[in-house]
Every structure is written in C-alpha cells, then in structure tokens.
C-alpha cells in the first residue's frame, strides 16, 4: 500500500493501468459544460514549486480545481525560501495549515522522497519533477497519449503498450522525463530505444531496460512514437556538444526525417520546445505532433492520480522500501 507518488519505477503494471483507465474516465469531465467533480471537496492541496514550470504547474492546478479541492499555490520565488528557509521549515508550515497533499517540484533529486519519508508532514506527496531524477505524472500522461494514439481510445481500456516501439531522443543525461518514461514504458511492455550523443547519456545506462543508438535515421523507420527532449542548458556546466547547429543536424527532428517514420507513428514532446534546436517548427506544428494533446491529457492523468491517492483507493506497489509504506499503517 502506498500513498505517495515519487517514482514511475514504484508503479506496478496494475497500478499504471488503473491510473490510465481512471484518467480516461476523468477526461470525460473535460467534455462537459461544467468541468467539475465534487470528489475532493474540503481537501486542501498545496502546489510547492521550487523550480520553474508552465505546463506541470497549471495542469496540477486545473486537475485539483476540477476535483473541487482547495488549492494553495506556493512558488519559491517571492517566498521565505529566498530568505534561506529550509524545506523542513517550509513543510512544517504547510503541515500546520492541515494540507492533505503536497505536489512538489524541486531542483534537488530526492527532495520529494525526503518530504514523504521525513515525518515532517502527514500529507500525501506527489513528485512533479525532482532534479534529473523522476517526473512520474509526465511518464503517465505520455503513456496515456501513446495508448490512445497507438492502441485506441476505448479499445485501450485495461491494455498496456505491449510491443510498441518508442524512441526517446536528446538530452537523456539531464532528463527526469526520460528516466520516468523508460521505467514506466518497460513496466507497460513497450520496447524503448534511447538516441543521444554519447556525452548526453548517463553513466550506468547499460543497466537501464532499453536499447541505445547513436543513429537517429536508422531508428526512425522502426518507431511507433518518437519523443524529442529539450537540451537542458540550465543543468549543464560544460560543453556537451560542439555547436547547436551540429546537434540539430544529427539529433534534431525536421520534416525530411519525420517522413522516414511509419505513417501511423507520432512525434511527442513534453515541452517546453526549443523550435529550431531539437524540433523544427514544421514538425512541431504538424498533425503528427502530440505536444498539445499531451498537455490536455496531463490534466486527466493528474486528476486520476490525486483521486486515487486522496480518494481512498491505494496503489499496490513493487520494490517500495519500508519507509514508503503508508503512515496510516503505523497509527
């Protein structure tokens, strides 16, 4: 039994399918004139953002409001964090206000895990991206998008991504999106190939459950989905490739390259896109690019996660350390 969502690697296949199926239900709310369910009325959720975000922050807020929760938005800029306040003191301030869930984005890998297991707060913790480590709701919304597009909207219910071939391209080294996707896609039975310059692959990549390639052109014709990643300059302290032009020429997706992909295949991007770098405007604006769809799907996924964590249902877990077990068990 688990009451936090820290890593995509903690989810069993059944947990993941339950979230995807619940998100399908939640997506129907978006089609109604009044986009609201009373499910989390009287519950308080804090969005604790120590790092910049557009999509993820707005998406969590929309999901929480659609479930009728009371929402408190906290961003480190303009708060006492910039006066030197620690995560512990910030957390205890939130606890004093009686929050039920904390959605946290932090520049330090492991911050959400620390918060969930510290004893500082009693709330459920949802990781909205920690350093270069994990971004589980992004992996879930990506899997949701792939399942809809590659398996089918209604036919997909209860299904995984068995045998689907997914290629993830770009700055794998700094990408929590890549890590989370590899974990979840593997659990869902997909075959993942990572394509990147050798300098943008992490040490120990051989132990990840995926293939590695340095040749984008050879990989494209064998891909059902191609996920392009942004080069995360804010996490770089050295030169990882000669020039931007050289990077785009070898690892960027343009119209000519996209034409090598099978007709049914899709182009994905978690955003923010740097047009002209990893993806050309032509590809970003094409019908095959699901970037905007991914944003819409993100709201349904986050509604499903918050509903399952706070609404009483629990995830079965695999490989979850004792410290991650629910605190209610201890009581």
302 belongs to the binding site for ligand NCD (CB under 6 A): no
177 belongs to the binding site for ligand NCD (CB under 6 A): yes
181 belongs to the binding site for ligand NCD (CB under 6 A): no
- Phi (first) and psi of residue 127, to 5 degrees: -80, 120
Min dist CB 25 to ligand NCD, Å, is 23
> What residues contact 267, with CB distance under 8 A and at least 6 apart?
225, 226, 228, 253, 258, 261, 279, 283, 286, 288, 289, 290
Contact indicator for 262, 288 with CB cutoff of 8 Å: no
Q: In the chain, what is the greatest distance between 2 CA atoms, to the nearest angstrom?
A: 60
With CB under 6 A as the rule, give the number of residues binding ligand NCD: 12
CB neighbourhood size of 324 (10 A): 18
Whether residue 77 is annotated as binding a ligand: the answer is: no
By C-beta, is 36 or 233 nearer to ligand NCD? Answer: 233
Contact window for ligand NCD (CB under 6 A) among 76-84, 142-150, 197-205, 269-277: 269-277
Tell which residue, 116, 190, 180, has the closest CA to residue 159. Answer: 190
271 belongs to the binding site for ligand NCD (CB under 6 A): yes
- Beta strand extents in 196-315 (DSSP E only): 211-213, 225-228, 266-268
Contact window for ligand NCD (CB under 6 A) among 106-114, 161-169, 193-201, 266-274: 266-274
Whether residue 235 is annotated as binding a ligand: the answer is: no
Min dist CB 279 to ligand NCD, Å, is 12
Whether residue 328 is annotated as binding a ligand: the answer is: no
Six token digits for residue 262: 């099978």
Min dist CB 294 to ligand NCD, Å, is 8
By C-beta, is 52 or 254 nearer to ligand NCD? Answer: 52
Both ends of the chain: CA-CA distance in Å?
A: 14
CB neighbourhood size of 119 (10 A): 9
Min dist CB 207 to ligand NCD, Å, is 22
Min dist CB 128 to ligand NCD, Å, is 8
Contact window for ligand NCD (CB under 6 A) among 211-219, 268-276, 301-309, 313-321: 268-276
**Binder among 66, 133, 148, 230 for ligand NCD (CB under 6 A):** 230
Q: How far apart are CA 88 and CA 105, in angstroms?
A: 15
In sequence order, which ranges of 34-167 are alpha helices (DSSP H)?
Answer: 55-66, 87-96, 111-117, 136-146
Contact indicator for 290, 53 with CB cutoff of 8 Å: no
**Binder among 3, 4, 148, 176 for ligand NCD (CB under 6 A):** 176
- Residue carrying the six token digits 């390259």: 257
Whether residue 176 is annotated as binding a ligand: the answer is: yes
Whether residue 56 is annotated as binding a ligand: the answer is: yes
- Over the window 60 to 99, marking each residue x when it contacts ligand NCD by CB under 6 A and - when it does not, the resulting string is ----------------------------------------
56 belongs to the binding site for ligand NCD (CB under 6 A): yes
Question: Scanning residues 124 to 163, which ones bind ligand NCD (CB under 6 A)?
Answer: 129, 135, 138
What is the full DSSP assignment across 167-223? EEES--TT-HHHHHHHHHHHHTT-EEEEE--GGGS-TTGGGSSSEEES-HHHHGGG-
By C-beta, is 39 or 232 nearer to ligand NCD? Answer: 232
Residue stretches of the annotated binding site:
55-56, 83, 105, 135, 138, 176, 230, 271-272
Which residues bind to ligand NCD, rule: CB under 6 A? 55-56, 129, 135, 138, 176-177, 230, 232, 270-272
Residue stretches of the annotated binding site for carbamoyl phosphate:
55-56, 105, 135, 138, 271-272
């Amino acid at each position: 039994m688990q009451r936090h969502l820290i890593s995509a690697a903690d989810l069993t296949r059944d947990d993941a399918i339950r979230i995807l199926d619940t998100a399908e239900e939640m997506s129907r709310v978006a089609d109604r004139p009044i986009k609201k369910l009373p499910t989390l009325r009287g519950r308080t959720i804090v969005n604790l953002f120590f790092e910049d975000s557009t999509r993820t922050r707005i998406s969590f807020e929309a999901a929480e409001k659609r479930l009728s929760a009371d929402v408190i938005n906290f961003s480190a800029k303009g708060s006492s964090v910039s006066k030197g306040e620690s995560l512990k003191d910030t957390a205890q301030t939130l606890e004093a206000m009686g929050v039920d869930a904390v959605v946290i984005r932090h520049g330090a890998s492991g911050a959400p895990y620390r918060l969930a297991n510290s004893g500082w707060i009693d709330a459920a913790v949802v990781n909205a991206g920690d350093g270069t480590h994990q971004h589980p709701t992004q992996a879930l919304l990506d899997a949701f998008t792939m399942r809809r597009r590659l398996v089918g909207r209604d036919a997909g219910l209860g299904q995984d991504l068995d045998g689907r071939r997914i290629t993830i391209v770009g700055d794998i080294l700094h990408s929590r999106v890549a890590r989370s996707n590899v974990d979840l896609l593997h659990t869902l039975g997909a075959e993942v190939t990572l394509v990147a310059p050798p300098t943008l692959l992490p040490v120990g990549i051989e132990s990840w459950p995926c293939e590695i390639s340095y040749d984008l052109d050879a990989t494209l014709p064998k891909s059902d989905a191609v996920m392009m990643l942004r080069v995360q300059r804010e996490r770089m302290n050295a030169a990882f490739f000669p020039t931007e032009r050289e990077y785009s020429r070898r690892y960027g997706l343009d119209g000519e390259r996209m034409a090598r992909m099978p007709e049914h295949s899709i182009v994905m991007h978690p955003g923010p896109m740097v047009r002209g770098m990893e993806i050309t405007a032509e590809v970003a604006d094409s019908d095959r690019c699901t970037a905007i769809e991914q944003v819409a799907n993100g709201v349904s996924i986050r509604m499903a996660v918050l509903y399952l964590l706070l609404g009483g249902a629990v995830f079965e877990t695999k490989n979850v350390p004792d410290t991650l077990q629910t605190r209610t068990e201890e009581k």
